[in-house]
Structures are given as C-alpha cells and as structure tokens.
Amino acid sequence: MRNDWICGLLLTGATLWGGGQPATGFTAPPLTVGEPFPNLLFPAAADHRPVSVHQFHGRKTLVHLFASW
C-alpha cells in the first residue's frame, strides 16, 4: 500500500512538472477548405533526406500522426 502511494505521488509530480513545458518544434499553418495543401517540408527520415508534401502529389497518401510523450 505504501509503494502505491509513493508511485502515485511520483507520477503526479512528473505529470505536473512536464505539463507546464511549452511546446517546441514544428507548427503547421492552419488549413481551410478549398485551398491547396501547403508545401510542408518534414525532417529527414530513414534515408536522411527531408520529405516534402508535394512529393506525394496525385497519389493516395496515409499520414500517421503520433506523439511519443
């Protein structure tokens, strides 16, 4: 029971500490209906070359977004 209490306090503290951190990195422009998709350039992938959205123009593309926190 004591271990559960300590783990709960540590988890709560870590959540509160990390929750106040500002977001950094990539921010995409807002999208509107009827306008072309902006040409976004994403960081290098496995082959160490950046990926542009326009490389996939005219092809069906699945974009898998995830967060690793």
Selection from 38, 36, 17 nearest residue 27 by Cα: 38
CB-CB contact of 52 with 40 (8 Å): yes
Continuous H helices in the chain: 2-19
Rg (CA), the chain: 20
pLDDT digits (tens, 9 = 90+) for 49-64: 888 888 888 888 887 7
Q: pTM of the predicted model, to two decimals?
A: 0.37
pLDDT digits (tens, 9 = 90+) for 21-40: 566 666 767 778 888 877 88
